[in-house]
Amino acid sequence: GNDKIRGEDGNDSLSGDAGRDYIHGGDGSDAINGGADADKLVGGRGTDVIQGGAGDDHIWGGNWSGDNASDTFVFAAGSGKDIIHDFETDQDQIDLTSYGLDYDSLQNVMTDHGWAVELRVGSVSLWLSGYR
């Protein structure tokens, strides 16, 4: 169903499964998986690994804005159209290993739209908004 899940202090593993979920990791280094459908996923403070899953997700590594921690955003086939709202270029990472892309081939799938950068691989698109 449509779940609201919130982790507390410490390292949490949170998964939403099917439904339009809101998941907030809280403080600590968390593993968050949105599962199927369109989710809102917030890492909170700490070094988080966030996987949107299927569906068009909105993802924040920190508490709605950059948290000065290194977050990893994981994307694979079937991820849908996802938006990362607070990508910090000097700290965060995007894991696209399931696509087998190297840095040079990644340059060929990026488009700068001014307000955001889009990475499109097949039918999957990832948008980076508010990156710094």
Alpha-helical segments (H) within the chain: 103-107
Domain 12-129 architecture: 2 Solenoid (2.150)
Spatial neighbors of 107 by CB under 8 A, at least 6 apart, are none
Structure tokens at 118: 């889009």
Residue 101 has a pLDDT of 79
d(CA 92, CA 70): 5
Question: pLDDT band for position 63 (50/70/90)?
Answer: low
Structure tokens at 34: 């949105």
Residue 98 is classified by DSSP as G
Proportion of the chain above pLDDT 70, given as a percent? 92
pTM exceeds 0.75 = no
Domain edges within the chain? 12-129
